[in-house]
Amino acid sequence: MIRRLSLACALALPLAASVAIAQDGRISVQIDHAQRVQLGGAATSVIVANPAIADVTVVDANTLFITGKGYGVTEVVALDGVGRTLFQRQIIVTGGGAGTVRVWRGARATEMACASSCAETVRADAAPSTPTP
């Protein structure tokens, strides 16, 4: 009897942990990385509160990929055809971990990707630097 109870608890524990993560309301994505989101129904509208922080690619009506574009916090909402909320989460975009370095020169930060040597990263939103007079 005790063995059956402990087996049932062992099987239920990972399920409880995944439910807590899903109900947390936050998704953490590293900058320039993507996180897959599987919806419980077909979305017809997807809203990103701050597109400078995150972007969403709709693969099909039930699958989204959230990409970290800039550091910060935003929100993504997906609605079905009658306006019901299928997905609403806070998206936290953080810096990359291994292999990246940020170099500060005054107020200007430069992201560097490093392996055996370092090189400046290519960012879609980066404006070319122009010297100030």
pLDDT tens-digit profile of 49-64? 999 999 999 999 999 9
12 within domain boundaries: no
18 within domain boundaries: no
What is the CATH classification number for the domain harbouring 102?
Answer: 2.60.40.1380
Count Cβ neighbours within 10 Å for each residue of 25-61 and write b for 16 or more, e otherwise.
Answer: eebebbbbebbebebeeebeebebeeeebbbbeeeee
65 within domain boundaries: yes
59 within domain boundaries: yes
Q: Which residues contact 19 (CB under 8 A, 6 or more apart)?
A: none
Domain encompassing residue 28: 23-120
22-31, 74-83, 91-100, 124-133: the lowest-pLDDT one = 124-133
Give this prediction's pTM. Answer: 0.64
